[in-house]
Amino acid sequence: MTPDQPVAAVLGDAACDLTFWKDRDLPVVCNFPLEVKRGGTAANTAVGLARQGVPVEFFGVVGDDPLGMVILDDLAREGVDTAGVRVRNGVATPQVLYAIDEDGSLWGNTVWPPLLESAIFALEKGDVDIAHLRRFGWLHVVGLCFLKSPLRETALAVMEAAKEQAVPVSLDLNLRAMESVEIAEVRSALERAVESTSYLLGSASQEFSVLFPDSTPEEAARRIAERGCTVILRMSKDGATAISADRTVTVPALSVDPVSPVGAGDAFNAGFITALLRGEEVEAGVRRGNATAALTISRAEADAPSGAAVEAKLAEAFGPAGSTIEPR
Protein backbone atom coordinates (compact mmCIF):
# COMPACT_ATOMS: atom_id res chain seq x y z
CA MET A 1 0.00 0.00 0.00
CA THR A 2 1.07 3.61 -0.52
CA PRO A 3 0.60 6.62 1.79
CA ASP A 4 -1.95 8.27 -0.51
CA GLN A 5 -4.24 5.24 -0.77
CA PRO A 6 -7.78 5.87 0.50
CA VAL A 7 -8.55 4.22 3.82
CA ALA A 8 -11.69 2.10 4.19
CA ALA A 9 -13.69 2.16 7.42
CA VAL A 10 -15.62 -0.99 8.34
CA LEU A 11 -18.25 -0.86 11.09
CA GLY A 12 -20.02 -3.86 12.55
CA ASP A 13 -19.56 -7.27 14.11
CA ALA A 14 -16.53 -9.21 15.24
CA ALA A 15 -16.82 -12.73 16.61
CA CYS A 16 -14.80 -15.87 17.22
CA ASP A 17 -15.57 -18.73 14.84
CA LEU A 18 -15.31 -22.22 16.29
CA THR A 19 -15.47 -24.65 13.39
CA PHE A 20 -15.83 -28.41 13.67
CA TRP A 21 -14.34 -30.12 10.60
CA LYS A 22 -14.96 -33.79 9.93
CA ASP A 23 -11.71 -34.33 8.05
CA ARG A 24 -9.04 -32.03 9.54
CA ASP A 25 -5.95 -32.71 11.64
CA LEU A 26 -6.91 -30.37 14.48
CA PRO A 27 -7.50 -30.63 18.26
CA VAL A 28 -10.43 -32.98 18.77
CA VAL A 29 -13.53 -31.91 20.74
CA CYS A 30 -16.59 -34.17 20.91
CA ASN A 31 -14.94 -36.44 18.34
CA PHE A 32 -14.52 -33.63 15.77
CA PRO A 33 -11.40 -31.54 14.86
CA LEU A 34 -11.91 -27.96 16.11
CA GLU A 35 -10.53 -24.73 14.62
CA VAL A 36 -10.76 -21.38 16.48
CA LYS A 37 -10.26 -18.10 14.60
CA ARG A 38 -11.51 -14.58 14.12
CA GLY A 39 -14.90 -14.22 12.44
CA GLY A 40 -17.85 -11.88 12.07
CA THR A 41 -19.13 -10.45 8.80
CA ALA A 42 -17.62 -7.00 9.24
CA ALA A 43 -14.32 -8.23 10.67
CA ASN A 44 -13.96 -10.74 7.83
CA THR A 45 -14.54 -7.98 5.27
CA ALA A 46 -11.96 -5.76 6.98
CA VAL A 47 -9.35 -8.54 6.82
CA GLY A 48 -10.29 -9.27 3.21
CA LEU A 49 -9.65 -5.63 2.32
CA ALA A 50 -6.31 -5.59 4.15
CA ARG A 51 -5.16 -8.71 2.31
CA GLN A 52 -5.86 -6.97 -0.99
CA GLY A 53 -3.72 -4.01 0.01
CA VAL A 54 -6.45 -1.63 1.18
CA PRO A 55 -5.66 0.35 4.35
CA VAL A 56 -8.60 -0.31 6.69
CA GLU A 57 -9.81 0.67 10.15
CA PHE A 58 -12.34 -1.43 12.04
CA PHE A 59 -15.04 -0.03 14.34
CA GLY A 60 -16.77 -2.40 16.73
CA VAL A 61 -16.88 -3.85 20.22
CA VAL A 62 -15.46 -7.00 21.75
CA GLY A 63 -15.84 -8.25 25.30
CA ASP A 64 -13.05 -8.00 27.85
CA ASP A 65 -12.48 -11.74 27.58
CA PRO A 66 -10.02 -14.18 25.96
CA LEU A 67 -11.99 -14.42 22.72
CA GLY A 68 -12.03 -10.63 22.41
CA MET A 69 -8.25 -10.65 22.69
CA VAL A 70 -8.05 -13.34 19.99
CA ILE A 71 -9.96 -11.04 17.67
CA LEU A 72 -7.87 -7.95 18.46
CA ASP A 73 -4.62 -9.85 18.00
CA ASP A 74 -5.78 -11.35 14.71
CA LEU A 75 -6.96 -8.01 13.28
CA ALA A 76 -3.67 -6.36 14.21
CA ARG A 77 -1.68 -9.24 12.73
CA GLU A 78 -3.63 -8.84 9.48
CA GLY A 79 -2.77 -5.14 9.30
CA VAL A 80 -6.22 -3.84 10.27
CA ASP A 81 -6.16 -0.64 12.33
CA THR A 82 -8.00 -1.43 15.60
CA ALA A 83 -8.07 2.11 16.97
CA GLY A 84 -11.84 2.08 16.47
CA VAL A 85 -12.39 -1.12 18.49
CA ARG A 86 -13.73 -0.77 22.02
CA VAL A 87 -13.27 -3.41 24.74
CA ARG A 88 -16.26 -3.56 27.08
CA ASN A 89 -16.74 -5.16 30.48
CA GLY A 90 -20.02 -6.92 31.19
CA VAL A 91 -20.67 -8.16 27.66
CA ALA A 92 -19.25 -11.26 26.00
CA THR A 93 -17.54 -11.66 22.67
CA PRO A 94 -19.83 -13.94 20.62
CA GLN A 95 -18.76 -17.41 19.56
CA VAL A 96 -20.16 -18.78 16.31
CA LEU A 97 -20.05 -22.57 16.13
CA TYR A 98 -20.00 -24.09 12.64
CA ALA A 99 -20.00 -27.72 11.53
CA ILE A 100 -18.51 -28.47 8.10
CA ASP A 101 -19.05 -31.81 6.35
CA GLU A 102 -16.45 -33.67 4.26
CA ASP A 103 -17.80 -32.16 1.03
CA GLY A 104 -17.49 -28.59 2.33
CA SER A 105 -21.18 -28.13 3.05
CA LEU A 106 -22.38 -26.33 6.17
CA TRP A 107 -24.61 -28.63 8.17
CA GLY A 108 -25.12 -26.60 11.33
CA ASN A 109 -24.24 -23.43 13.20
CA THR A 110 -25.17 -21.64 16.40
CA VAL A 111 -24.16 -18.50 18.35
CA TRP A 112 -23.25 -18.13 22.02
CA PRO A 113 -24.08 -16.05 23.93
CA PRO A 114 -27.35 -15.40 22.09
CA LEU A 115 -26.50 -12.86 19.39
CA LEU A 116 -28.52 -9.97 20.81
CA GLU A 117 -26.88 -10.36 24.24
CA SER A 118 -23.35 -10.17 22.85
CA ALA A 119 -20.77 -7.37 22.79
CA ILE A 120 -21.48 -6.58 19.13
CA PHE A 121 -24.31 -4.16 19.91
CA ALA A 122 -22.52 -2.07 22.56
CA LEU A 123 -20.92 0.44 20.15
CA GLU A 124 -22.15 3.95 20.99
CA LYS A 125 -22.17 7.17 18.96
CA GLY A 126 -19.41 8.64 21.11
CA ASP A 127 -17.13 5.76 20.16
CA VAL A 128 -16.81 7.07 16.58
CA ASP A 129 -15.43 10.47 15.55
CA ILE A 130 -18.42 11.19 13.34
CA ALA A 131 -17.36 14.75 12.53
CA HIS A 132 -14.18 13.63 10.79
CA LEU A 133 -15.17 10.82 8.45
CA ARG A 134 -13.70 12.63 5.43
CA ARG A 135 -10.38 10.97 6.23
CA PHE A 136 -11.88 7.76 4.87
CA GLY A 137 -12.32 6.92 1.21
CA TRP A 138 -15.08 4.40 1.95
CA LEU A 139 -17.45 3.29 4.71
CA HIS A 140 -18.77 -0.28 4.87
CA VAL A 141 -21.54 -1.25 7.32
CA VAL A 142 -23.32 -4.56 7.90
CA GLY A 143 -27.05 -5.12 8.39
CA LEU A 144 -26.61 -6.82 11.76
CA CYS A 145 -26.01 -3.32 13.14
CA PHE A 146 -29.72 -2.57 12.87
CA LEU A 147 -30.94 -5.41 15.05
CA LYS A 148 -30.47 -3.63 18.39
CA SER A 149 -29.56 -0.36 20.11
CA PRO A 150 -27.23 1.40 20.72
CA LEU A 151 -25.41 0.01 17.66
CA ARG A 152 -28.48 0.70 15.50
CA GLU A 153 -28.42 4.44 16.20
CA THR A 154 -24.63 4.56 15.98
CA ALA A 155 -24.58 2.96 12.53
CA LEU A 156 -27.32 5.25 11.23
CA ALA A 157 -25.54 8.36 12.54
CA VAL A 158 -22.21 7.29 11.00
CA MET A 159 -23.81 6.47 7.64
CA GLU A 160 -25.68 9.76 7.48
CA ALA A 161 -22.56 11.72 8.44
CA ALA A 162 -20.54 9.86 5.81
CA LYS A 163 -23.05 10.77 3.13
CA GLU A 164 -22.95 14.43 4.19
CA GLN A 165 -19.15 14.31 4.00
CA ALA A 166 -19.21 12.75 0.50
CA VAL A 167 -17.82 9.37 1.64
CA PRO A 168 -19.16 6.42 -0.43
CA VAL A 169 -21.15 4.00 1.74
CA SER A 170 -21.75 0.30 1.17
CA LEU A 171 -24.22 -1.75 3.19
CA ASP A 172 -24.26 -5.54 3.32
CA LEU A 173 -27.77 -6.64 4.38
CA ASN A 174 -26.53 -9.83 6.08
CA LEU A 175 -29.83 -10.38 7.91
CA ARG A 176 -30.55 -14.07 8.21
CA ALA A 177 -30.99 -14.31 12.00
CA MET A 178 -34.24 -12.40 12.38
CA GLU A 179 -36.40 -14.61 14.59
CA SER A 180 -35.81 -12.86 17.93
CA VAL A 181 -36.06 -9.21 16.81
CA GLU A 182 -38.88 -6.80 16.11
CA ILE A 183 -38.97 -6.89 12.31
CA ALA A 184 -40.81 -3.56 11.96
CA GLU A 185 -38.06 -1.73 13.85
CA VAL A 186 -35.36 -3.38 11.78
CA ARG A 187 -37.13 -2.63 8.51
CA SER A 188 -37.61 1.00 9.51
CA ALA A 189 -33.91 1.35 10.36
CA LEU A 190 -32.90 -0.29 7.08
CA GLU A 191 -35.17 2.00 5.08
CA ARG A 192 -33.43 4.96 6.70
CA ALA A 193 -29.99 3.41 6.16
CA VAL A 194 -30.64 2.85 2.45
CA GLU A 195 -31.07 6.62 2.02
CA SER A 196 -27.38 7.03 2.90
CA THR A 197 -26.19 3.98 0.95
CA SER A 198 -24.30 4.14 -2.34
CA TYR A 199 -24.04 0.34 -2.81
CA LEU A 200 -26.37 -2.20 -1.23
CA LEU A 201 -25.15 -5.81 -1.24
CA GLY A 202 -26.89 -8.98 -0.16
CA SER A 203 -27.79 -12.59 -0.78
CA ALA A 204 -30.51 -12.68 -3.43
CA SER A 205 -32.09 -15.82 -2.03
CA GLN A 206 -32.33 -14.76 1.62
CA GLU A 207 -31.99 -11.08 2.45
CA PHE A 208 -33.85 -8.65 0.21
CA SER A 209 -37.24 -9.83 1.46
CA VAL A 210 -36.48 -8.01 4.73
CA LEU A 211 -37.11 -4.71 2.95
CA PHE A 212 -39.77 -5.87 0.48
CA PRO A 213 -41.34 -9.13 1.71
CA ASP A 214 -43.87 -9.28 -1.14
CA SER A 215 -41.33 -8.82 -3.95
CA THR A 216 -38.84 -11.10 -5.67
CA PRO A 217 -35.19 -10.20 -4.99
CA GLU A 218 -34.85 -8.60 -8.42
CA GLU A 219 -38.07 -6.59 -7.97
CA ALA A 220 -36.86 -5.44 -4.56
CA ALA A 221 -33.47 -4.51 -6.01
CA ARG A 222 -35.07 -2.43 -8.77
CA ARG A 223 -37.25 -0.58 -6.28
CA ILE A 224 -34.19 0.26 -4.20
CA ALA A 225 -32.16 1.26 -7.28
CA GLU A 226 -34.84 3.83 -8.16
CA ARG A 227 -33.65 5.77 -5.12
CA GLY A 228 -30.19 6.21 -6.68
CA CYS A 229 -28.50 3.26 -4.95
CA THR A 230 -26.66 0.54 -6.89
CA VAL A 231 -27.79 -2.90 -5.71
CA ILE A 232 -25.65 -6.03 -5.88
CA LEU A 233 -27.49 -9.36 -5.76
CA ARG A 234 -25.07 -12.12 -4.75
CA MET A 235 -26.37 -15.37 -6.24
CA SER A 236 -23.83 -17.98 -5.12
CA LYS A 237 -23.07 -20.40 -7.99
CA ASP A 238 -25.02 -18.17 -10.39
CA GLY A 239 -22.66 -15.23 -9.91
CA ALA A 240 -23.85 -11.73 -9.07
CA THR A 241 -26.02 -9.06 -10.65
CA ALA A 242 -25.55 -5.30 -10.31
CA ILE A 243 -28.71 -3.24 -10.74
CA SER A 244 -28.76 0.54 -11.00
CA ALA A 245 -31.44 2.92 -12.20
CA ASP A 246 -30.30 2.66 -15.82
CA ARG A 247 -28.33 -0.61 -16.15
CA THR A 248 -28.28 -4.28 -15.15
CA VAL A 249 -25.14 -6.40 -15.42
CA THR A 250 -24.79 -10.07 -14.47
CA VAL A 251 -21.35 -11.58 -14.03
CA PRO A 252 -21.10 -15.40 -13.82
CA ALA A 253 -19.49 -17.12 -10.86
CA LEU A 254 -16.07 -18.71 -11.27
CA SER A 255 -15.76 -22.47 -10.98
CA VAL A 256 -13.85 -23.85 -7.97
CA ASP A 257 -13.90 -26.93 -5.76
CA PRO A 258 -15.54 -25.70 -2.54
CA VAL A 259 -14.05 -26.43 0.87
CA SER A 260 -16.42 -24.30 2.98
CA PRO A 261 -19.16 -21.77 2.17
CA VAL A 262 -18.43 -19.66 5.27
CA GLY A 263 -17.31 -16.10 4.53
CA ALA A 264 -18.11 -16.05 0.80
CA GLY A 265 -20.31 -12.95 1.00
CA ASP A 266 -17.78 -11.12 3.17
CA ALA A 267 -15.05 -11.96 0.65
CA PHE A 268 -17.18 -10.73 -2.23
CA ASN A 269 -17.67 -7.43 -0.41
CA ALA A 270 -13.91 -7.02 0.06
CA GLY A 271 -13.20 -7.65 -3.61
CA PHE A 272 -15.97 -5.33 -4.77
CA ILE A 273 -14.88 -2.46 -2.51
CA THR A 274 -11.22 -2.91 -3.45
CA ALA A 275 -12.04 -2.48 -7.13
CA LEU A 276 -14.13 0.64 -6.62
CA LEU A 277 -11.54 2.23 -4.35
CA ARG A 278 -9.12 1.76 -7.25
CA GLY A 279 -11.44 3.76 -9.47
CA GLU A 280 -12.82 0.79 -11.40
CA GLU A 281 -16.42 0.49 -12.61
CA VAL A 282 -19.16 -1.51 -10.89
CA GLU A 283 -18.88 -4.38 -13.39
CA ALA A 284 -15.18 -4.77 -12.59
CA GLY A 285 -16.09 -4.67 -8.91
CA VAL A 286 -18.52 -7.55 -9.35
CA ARG A 287 -15.89 -9.57 -11.22
CA ARG A 288 -13.35 -8.98 -8.47
CA GLY A 289 -15.98 -9.82 -5.86
CA ASN A 290 -16.78 -13.09 -7.59
CA ALA A 291 -13.09 -13.99 -7.88
CA THR A 292 -12.43 -13.20 -4.22
CA ALA A 293 -15.44 -15.24 -3.10
CA ALA A 294 -14.46 -18.18 -5.32
CA LEU A 295 -10.97 -18.30 -3.85
CA THR A 296 -12.32 -18.00 -0.30
CA ILE A 297 -14.70 -20.95 -0.53
CA SER A 298 -11.90 -23.06 -2.01
CA ARG A 299 -9.71 -22.39 1.04
CA ALA A 300 -9.96 -23.04 4.78
CA GLU A 301 -12.98 -21.48 6.47
CA ALA A 302 -13.36 -17.74 5.77
CA ASP A 303 -9.70 -17.50 4.71
CA ALA A 304 -9.54 -14.46 2.46
CA PRO A 305 -7.06 -14.50 -0.45
CA SER A 306 -4.26 -12.06 -1.12
CA GLY A 307 -4.50 -9.40 -3.77
CA ALA A 308 -2.00 -11.30 -5.90
CA ALA A 309 -4.14 -14.44 -5.76
CA VAL A 310 -7.21 -12.48 -6.82
CA GLU A 311 -5.33 -10.87 -9.71
CA ALA A 312 -4.17 -14.30 -10.88
CA LYS A 313 -7.72 -15.68 -10.68
CA LEU A 314 -9.07 -12.74 -12.68
CA ALA A 315 -6.40 -13.17 -15.34
CA GLU A 316 -7.15 -16.89 -15.53
CA ALA A 317 -10.89 -16.30 -15.93
CA PHE A 318 -11.07 -13.11 -17.97
CA GLY A 319 -7.67 -12.65 -19.56
CA PRO A 320 -4.91 -10.22 -18.55
CA ALA A 321 -7.12 -7.17 -19.12
CA GLY A 322 -10.01 -8.65 -17.13
CA SER A 323 -12.43 -6.75 -19.34
CA THR A 324 -14.75 -9.36 -20.78
CA ILE A 325 -18.10 -10.23 -19.25
CA GLU A 326 -18.12 -13.99 -19.88
CA PRO A 327 -15.35 -16.04 -18.26
CA ARG A 328 -13.15 -18.08 -20.58
CATH number at residue 39: 3.40.1190.20
To the query of whether residue 127 is one of the catalytic residues in this protein, the response is no
Do β-strands 240-243 and 230-234 pair in parallel, antiparallel, or remain unpaired?
Answer: antiparallel
Q: What is the pTM of this model?
A: 0.89
Q: Give domain status of residue 173, yes or no.
A: yes
Residues 317/325, Cβ–Cβ less than 8 Å? no
- Which segment of 14-18, 69-73, 175-179, 189-193 scores lowest on mean pLDDT? 175-179
Domain with 49 in it: 7-318
Question: Which strands make up the sheet holding 7-11, listed edge to edge?
Answer: 81-88, 56-63, 7-11, 136-142, 169-172, 199-203, 230-234, 240-243, 248-251
Distance, in Å, from the CA atom of 137 to the CA atom of 143, rounded to the nearest integer, reads 20
**Whether the Cβ atoms of residue 217 and residue 228 lie closer than 8 Å to each other:** no
**For range 167-195, the mean pLDDT:** 84
Domain presence at residue 323 = no
User: In the chain, what is the greatest distance between 2 CA atoms, to the nearest angstrom?
Assistant: 54
pLDDT band, very low/low/confident/very high, at 170 (cuts 50, 70, 90): very high
Residue 1 forms part of a structural domain: no
Residue tagged active-site, from 13, 127, 266, 303: 266
Q: Tell me whether residue 227 is in a domain.
A: yes
How would DSSP label each residue in 300-313? Answer: STT-PPPHHHHHHH
Whether residue 284 lies inside any domain: the answer is yes
User: Considering its fold, how many domains does the chain have in total?
Assistant: 1
pLDDT tens-place string over residues 5-39: 899 999 999 998 776 555 544 444 444 445 667 88
Average of per-residue pLDDT across 115-122: 92
Report which DSSP code applies to 253.
P
